[in-house]
Amino acid sequence: MEILIPKQKRETVEETLQDEGLDFTLVEEKSREEPSVVITFPLPAPAVESALDDLLTPRAEPGDATGERPLLGSSS
């Protein structure tokens, strides 16, 4: 699986993947206006839905006083 995330969500996504015991690679994306990171990690097909659910589940991020937000998806 390969996902593009805003750079400010990198640490939280890394922690989620580490908690799941997944190996992953990170590449900073410099061609976009918003600082972004591409994260790639191997998953068997049956695990994709569960991983996406974990990444889309709203959670508070460090320093976020506005409430919980999903790791992926809209940041508004």
Task: Determine what percent of the chain is predicted with pLDDT higher than 90.
Answer: 14
For residues 51 and 18, the model is more confident at 18
What average pLDDT score do residues 60-74 get? 57
Distance CA 71, CA 58 (A): 7
| Full set of structural domains in the chain with CATH | 2-56 (3.30.70.120)
State pLDDT tens for residues 53-64: 877 776 655 555
State pLDDT tens for residues 8-26: 889 988 888 888 888 999 9
Could you please report the per-residue DSSP string of 15-56? HHHHHTT---EEEEE-SSSS-EEEEE----GGGHHHHHHHHH
Q: What is the pLDDT of residue 66?
A: 53
Q: What is the pLDDT of residue 76?
A: 43
